[in-house]
Structure 1
Amino acid sequence: MGTSRAYSARRGVPKGTGQDGIALLLALLFIALLSVIVVEYTYEAEVEAALATNDAADLEAYVAAKSAIASAMAFLAADLLEIEQFSGADFDSHLDLWARPAPLEPINGAVMRCTIDDEYGKLNLNALFRMDDTGNEVPNELLIEALRELFGRRADVLGLEENPADAVLDWLDADFEPREFGAEGDFYARLEIPYPCKNGPMDSVDELLLIRGITPGFFFGYFEGDIAPDQRDRPQEQIVPLPELVTVHGDPGGRINLNTAEPATLDALFAVWGLAAPELVDEIIEMRMNDMPFINEHDMVVFFDKPRKNDIPPQHVLTVQSRAFRVYGDGITQNARVRIEAYLWRNPGRGAALSSIEAQESFRILDWRVIR
């Protein structure tokens, strides 16, 4: 009887319980590892799909941006065609086709827009010095004084103590002697990350950011240091970014388009040019607002007083025509945005003295960069 109960008790205990538990744990571990692998694979697949989608969106935005540049060229070409066939007045101003705001236009799965700005309406930094026939460097004294005036006023508005004009002149001129507030190669060689002084023409207006005293605030137009008391209430948005005032693709002789120059540029020029009274700037801006641009050189010359013996005549300082333009081509999709910044030289067409190569070109790309 006791033996039977003991046997029954032994039969109630399952055999192999320890091995089965280990097998279950191994099975759960395998399932967990498999789940991790599946999740990781799914994640990588989703990432690759997203990257492929982004690449496709970026390409579509890039194509749209290039199309916007082509559209800008069409506007600039149509402007010349309008001159030749209809108006006959060879001038560039805010009334031209290229100067009108362009709307967003659909193209494939994106939208595009072009924005055109006149580089001849800016002070050309590469015209501050030129080489004469004997190889000697000749400064453009009027343009240099205009630069000092422009940068000095800007430094005052931004609360900066130093006018960086001397440093810009040292960056451009061929000698190695620093001006009073300038800098030559020895200054840049002592920087934490040294680099040489250019001592020659600039390739891009962004190069200014390498020059002593040209801070990001000075370049882009925002306050960095102490603000002069009389400037503290001035709205920051009134400070024009430096690339709207100066260029490296302007008129080789340093002339500035009177129809398109910013008021700050004209203020600085007229303050140092003996033939032009500073109050004429307001009159010129009012004429623009009333759609009354200067339509030819004669129209421009008679606006100013008759030059005295030592005065520089208007046609040597100003112009009403433009050949170089900055174009922004924007391409936008739902997931990407691309901007192309291009500087274009436009063949001025009839009546212009051109080399044989220039005569065969409608446009020439002076600079091209893609911004993502």
Structure 2
Amino acid sequence: MKRYAADNKGIALFLVLWVLVLLMVIVGEFCHAMKTEVKITRNFKESTQAYYIARAGMNTAIIGLIEDKISPPKATSEEDEEEGTIKWRINAAIPEIPFGQGRFEIRIENQSGKVNINRAGKDLLRMMLSSFDCGDNEKNVIVDSILDWRDKDRFHRLNGAEDDYYQGLPEPYDCKDADFDSIDELLLVKGMTEKIFYDGLKDMVTVYPHNDSITINTGRRTTRRRKTDYNYNKININSASIQMLKALPLMTDDLAAEIVEYRKEKDFVSMTDLSGLLGPEVYQAVIRYITLKTSPYFIIKSIGAVEEGSVKQEVKALVKIDLKLKDRYLVLQWIKG
């Protein structure tokens, strides 16, 4: 009888230990789940805060660009910069700007540093391809085919293509005979290869504007006018990428790098500054292709972050700045990634 009682005590002790272990597992799992939920909630909160901080940065940059359009900035001293003056420079590092309980970082690009494939003439299109490993005949085919793709007639140029060529492909389609709506359409053009496109061409071109005329909403009436106030056969030396710079006639890698290095400190404000850097021979070769004017189309990237937080959110948009618009700006496209 005593032995039976001792056996029962052993079983009871085992059951108690087993229950304790089970409770420990349950409590541990509960604590882990709570920690995970708290972390998810904190990340969601910080992500939401960072997103709206980034949107605030986007709006701040737009306001800054509009103000610069109304009153173009003058050269400022270092003392002015220390007082908190923000320079909304294109293709240049802009210091982080505090906002609320976080901060945002802005990067601005202007489409004047790219070749507008809806507006560029034959010479600029051909120059654009000079930095790629393709022969003269291949360049002629691509350039003529771009011009045929966007013109409204059905007559192909010497090296171009119209419906008769595209309809003969294994997967036939029509020649568009209208402006490019996206740069990806270049992959449909005769002669264009994925290697050329993805090896840098896609970052050198733009399609804006891509209409023969633009709608202007002044708040009182809506009118349409042709876009004639900007020369799309020139590239802005202050906003051109290094690959775009290398495509300019007689431009060397070293000279392109010097231009980029110069722009880190300040923009070119006169052609005299540029000629001094390039030298007379190169300057005379590139002058017909370059300008200091910006187009109304900007790509603005804003990255928002919460103080002492690891989560960042990015918003990116193609924005048109035009004082003739009702709000003086228009977001044309929100860009993912």
TM-score by length of 2: 0.60
1:53 to 38, 42, 49: 42
1:154 to 126, 132, 141: 132
Q: Does 1:331 align with 2:304?
A: yes
How many Å separate the matches in 1 of 2:22 and 2:185?
Answer: 55
How many Å separate the matches in 2 of 1:186 and 1:23?
Answer: 86
What code does the residue aligned with 2:194 have? I
What residue in structure 1 maps to residue 281 of structure 2?
A: none
- Shift in Å, 1:208: 6.4
CA contact (8 A) 1:323 1:345 kept: yes
Post-superposition Cα deviations, 1:319-352, rounded to whole Å, max 9, x if no partner, equal 83421111111112322111211111011x4xxx
What residue in structure 2 maps to residue 246 of structure 1?
A: 205
Q: Does 1:121 align with 2:107?
A: no
What code does the residue aligned with 2:205 have? V
- Shift in Å, 1:206: 6.5
How many Å separate the matches in 1 of 2:125 and 2:32?
Answer: 57
- Shift in Å, 1:246: 1.5
What residue in structure 2 maps to residue 233 of structure 1?
A: none
- Shift in Å, 1:108: 2.4
2:198 to 194, 209, 219: 219
- Shift in Å, 1:44: 1.1
CA contact (8 A) 1:64 1:331 kept: yes
1:278-297 counterparts in 2 under 5 A?
291-293=268-270
- Shift in Å, 1:72: 1.1
The structure-2 alpha-carbon separation of the partners of 1:66 and 1:210, relative to structure 1 and needing over 3 Å to count, comes to farther
Q: Does 1:81 align with 2:81?
A: no
1:15 partner SS: helix
Unaligned runs of 5+ in 2: 76-86, 211-226, 273-287
How many Å separate the matches in 1 of 2:52 and 2:188?
Answer: 32
1:122-141 counterparts in 2 under 5 A?
122-127=114-119
What code does the residue aligned with 1:256 have? K
What code does the residue aligned with 1:247 have? T
1:28 to 17, 32, 39: 17
Q: Does 1:343 align with 2:318?
A: yes
1:16 partner SS: helix
What code does the residue aligned with 1:248 have? V
1:44 to 33, 36, 42: 33
How many Å separate the matches in 1 of 2:3 and 2:320?
Answer: 93
1:30 partner SS: helix
After superposing the two structures, state which structure 1 stretch, 17-26 or 107-116, moved more.
17-26
How many Å separate the matches in 2 of 1:41 and 1:185?
Answer: 64
CA contact (8 A) 2:300 2:317 kept: yes
CA contact (8 A) 2:58 2:302 kept: yes
What residue in structure 2 maps to residue 103 of structure 1?
A: 95
How many Å separate the matches in 2 of 1:247 and 1:74?
Answer: 24
How many Å separate the matches in 2 of 1:59 and 1:80?
Answer: 32
The structure-2 alpha-carbon separation of the partners of 1:56 and 1:63, relative to structure 1 and needing over 3 Å to count, comes to same
How many Å separate the matches in 1 of 2:117 and 2:54?
Answer: 28
Q: Does 1:363 align with 2:329?
A: yes
CA contact (8 A) 2:53 2:305 kept: yes
CA contact (8 A) 1:69 1:329 kept: yes
CA contact (8 A) 1:119 1:324 kept: yes
How many Å separate the matches in 2 of 1:53 and 1:247?
Answer: 40
1:250-289 counterparts in 2 under 5 A?
254-260=232-238, 262=240, 264-265=243-244, 268=247
**Greater radius of gyration (CA):** 1
Q: Does 1:17 align with 2:20?
A: no
How many Å separate the matches in 2 of 1:336 and 1:57?
Answer: 6
How many Å separate the matches in 2 of 1:68 and 1:204?
Answer: 27
What residue in structure 1 maps to residue 221 of structure 2?
A: none
1:176-187 counterparts in 2 under 5 A?
none
- Shift in Å, 1:57: 1.2
Post-superposition Cα deviations, 1:290-336, rounded to whole Å, max 9, x if no partner, equal 944269xxxxxxxxxxxxxxxxxx79x96834211111111123221
How many Å separate the matches in 1 of 2:5 and 2:16?
Answer: 17
Q: Does 1:66 align with 2:46?
A: no
**Matched-pair identity in %:** 20
Q: Superposition RMSD on alpha carbons, in Å?
A: 4.8
What code does the residue aligned with 2:96 have? L
TM-score by length of 1: 0.55
- Shift in Å, 1:152: 4.8
- Shift in Å, 1:186: 8.3
- Shift in Å, 1:360: 2.0
CA contact (8 A) 1:259 1:294 kept: no
How many Å separate the matches in 2 of 1:219 and 1:86?
Answer: 39
The structure-2 alpha-carbon separation of the partners of 1:167 and 1:321, relative to structure 1 and needing over 3 Å to count, comes to closer
How many Å separate the matches in 1 of 2:6 and 2:169?
Answer: 83
The structure-2 alpha-carbon separation of the partners of 1:51 and 1:124, relative to structure 1 and needing over 3 Å to count, comes to same
- Shift in Å, 1:34: 2.0
The structure-2 alpha-carbon separation of the partners of 1:24 and 1:86, relative to structure 1 and needing over 3 Å to count, comes to closer
The structure-2 alpha-carbon separation of the partners of 1:294 and 1:25, relative to structure 1 and needing over 3 Å to count, comes to same
What code does the residue aligned with 1:335 have? S
